[in-house]
Amino acid sequence: MATKYKRVLYKLSGEALAGGKGFGIDSEVVTKITSQIVEVVKQGVEVAIVVGGGNIWRGKTGEELGMERATADSMGMLATVMNSLALQDALEQKGVDTRVLTSVEMKEMAEPYIRRRAIRHLEKGRVAIFAAGIGNPYFSTDTTAALRAKEIGAEAILMGKNGVDGVYSADPKLDSTATKYDKLSYMDIMNKGLTIMDSTAITFCMDNHLPIIVFSIDDAENIVKVVSDSNLGTTIE
């Protein structure tokens, strides 16, 4: 299968790893996701990953507990490290060399994020997983994905969502009249108030001409299909 890209960054939600459980890490889901990423690597595509932490900790929970935002966000960074290590282990069990690189130093468990080192890992065919956000509170993993994608020279951000197969005019679960968009501009996302990514990430992608493809991860095979099928999901550029 011919691929459109040489180097991509997959943005996965933490919730996707929870599967139907809604919390924690579902080993069956992780196996399905990583098996497909292995297939993408076999096609010669260099793969980086940013995964969220919402299956373990959400900032909203911190707010309900009366936490400072910075503390709650720090806990969220640690949740992304846990998810990243789970993905690393599953990938390496399938024979794919993987490196977790963290923005917050924890050298006993993962490498510190260094741009040139990350690129070298990709060039050697290793999957690079970027954890702990950008290392600062108030910035989401969406923004992390946009920043890291640009830094490593990824050609696109492939945003895997659970429960939705693209960007819609409204929440299709709540509004039966919601329509799916095949293509959108960055300004469309902001002007229409679509919340597929936070505004900081969208603005960064617009300023740096970085395309985003939003697709469904409910069918794990889409992880492979999205690198070659231009009609899958919604393209934002």
> In this structure, what CATH number is given to the domain that contains residue 35?
3.40.1160.10
- Distance between CA 208 and CA 211 in Å, rounded? 9
Phi, psi of 208 (to 5 degrees): -110, 10
Binding site feature residues: 11-14, 53-54, 58, 73, 134-141, 162, 168, 171
Instruction: Return the percentage of the chain with pLDDT > 70, whole number.
Output: 100
Residue 164 lies in a domain: yes
Residue 1 lies in a domain: no
* pLDDT over 90 at 60, yes or no: no
Residue 24 lies in a domain: yes
Binding site feature residues for ATP: 11-14, 54, 58, 162, 168, 171
Contacts of 23 (CB under 8 A, 6+ apart): 55, 56
Q: What is the mean pLDDT of residues 157-170?
A: 91
Domain that holds residue 115: 7-236
Residue 134 lies in a domain: yes
Helix pair 27-42, 69-93: axis angle to 10 deg = 60
Tell me the average pLDDT of the chain.
94
Binding site feature residues for UMP: 53, 73, 134-141
At 115 the pLDDT is 98
- Distance between CA 229 and CA 166 in Å, rounded? 14
Residue 2 lies in a domain: no
At 1 the pLDDT is 64
pLDDT higher for 226 or 1? 226
At 214 the pLDDT is 96
Residue 79 lies in a domain: yes
Give the total number of structural domains in the chain: 1
Q: How confident is the model at residue 12 (pLDDT cuts 50, 70, 90)?
A: very high
At 164 the pLDDT is 87
Residue 34 lies in a domain: yes
**pTM of the model as a whole:** 0.95
At 231 the pLDDT is 84
pLDDT higher for 174 or 139? 139
Q: What is the mean pLDDT of residues 59-85?
A: 92
Q: What is the mean pLDDT of residues 183-200?
A: 92
Over residues 31-51, the pLDDT tens digits come to 999 999 999 999 999 999 999
Residue 112 lies in a domain: yes
